[in-house]
Amino acid sequence: MTQLFLPSHSLPADQNPAAVFLAGCNTRNTRRAYERCLENIAQIFGTHLESLDWTAIRHPHAQAIRARLIEVYDAAATINQHLSALRGVLEQAWLLGYMQADEYQRMINALGNITERKLPAGRHISDEEFLALLATCDDNKAQDIRDRAILSVLFVTGMRRSELIGLNIGDFDTEVFSLHIRNTKTKEDRLVYIGGKALAHLQYWVTLRGYDKAYDPLFCTADKRFSRLSESTIYYIIKSRAKAAGLKPLTPHDFRRTFISNGFDNPDVDEATLASITGHRDMNSLKRYDRRGERAKKRAAQVIDIP
């Protein structure tokens, strides 16, 4: 990296590839994450995100950045997030006319993701554990009725907590019993359907909450303010319910992992449908949650023993 140089050069926001890329991020959390990544990349060249001339990056720089990221970071997910941010900036640089298509393609080819096989984060929630969570919710308290609906929706849809808090009253279709998810990482809306006991818990909450304006939050504070819940509130709800039920710690992502794992276990649910429900573009990311092979290894361990 010491032989490479990129000039510091400020451009108007609408002509700065990094600024245009960040402005197009769909969620605040995504924007913040990519902003941190781009700041780290800029520091490789001894400058800052706002000062680096992103229009001057060429193939040698791209190769050196990738090599430097691999040297600095251990986790493939962290490296790949940085590479994804850089690819996004380069795409905007190409669209803004700062480079030719062949140069852009060469750099994209040089910035492929790092492959790493790791077990997915979090743990599986058993049916018994989930019922124990629901048992902590009282039928006579609005907050408990809301929390039971939240737990049920997460368990049967596998949606992200950012998607859950982004749901509005109007996103719940009471005729076909679907939820319209708009606040997604991939910027692609999707519908998920809900039925059975989970639907009953959701309907009970909606009846109690009342139907106001379509854009009011579906899940809100259990008071007269009806404020939209935050991601940290969802985390706290799950953490506190798990503690009250006497369970090992749980996170919102554990519900997503459990839903996907259960989907793989169900012969009536194919991988394409599962990806459509969970909003996965990358099938390889989805398959990381397939635990069928792990169960086979466990069965093998039970029959193979010392003589």
Q: Compare 127 and 27 and report the one with higher pLDDT.
A: 127
> Could you give the domains of the chain?
13-110 (1.10.150), 127-291 (1.10.443.10)
Q: Give the span between the Cα atoms of 209 and 142, in whole angstroms.
A: 8
- Which letter does DSSP use for residue 217 in this model? B
Q: Give dist(CA 234, CA 253) in Å, integer.
A: 11
Query: Quick one: pLDDT band at residue 74, thresholds 50, 70, 90?
Result: confident
Lowest mean pLDDT among 150-159, 216-225, 288-297: 288-297
Place of tokens 């992103």: 54
* Residue 24 host element (H or E): none
Residue 297 has pLDDT above 80, yes or no: no
- Give pLDDT, residue 241: 97
The pLDDT-based confidence of 3 (bands split at 50, 70, 90) is: very low
Tell the burial category of 93 from Cβ atoms under 10 Å away from its Cβ (0-12, 13-18, 19+). Answer: buried
Phi, psi of 164 (to 5 degrees): -65, -50
Helix, coil or strand: residue 281? coil
Pull the structure tokens for residue 148: 């039971």
Residue 119 has pLDDT above 70, yes or no: no
Using the predicted structure, report yes or no on whether residue 5 has a pLDDT greater than 60: no
Report pLDDT digits (tens) over 23-61. Answer: 998 888 889 999 999 999 999 888 889 889 999 999 999
Tokens of 161: 């907590």
Q: Is 96 within 8 Å of 46 (Cβ atoms)?
A: no
Look at residues 155, 54, 65, 166 and name the one whose alpha carbon lies nearest to residue 110.
Answer: 65
Please count the other Cβ atoms lying within 10 Å of the Cβ belonging to residue 145.
20
User: pLDDT tens digits for 174-218?
Assistant: 999 999 998 677 778 999 999 999 999 999 999 999 887 889 999
Q: Which residues are paired to 220 by β-bridges?
A: 228
Full-model pTM: 0.67
Q: What is the mean pLDDT of the chain?
A: 89
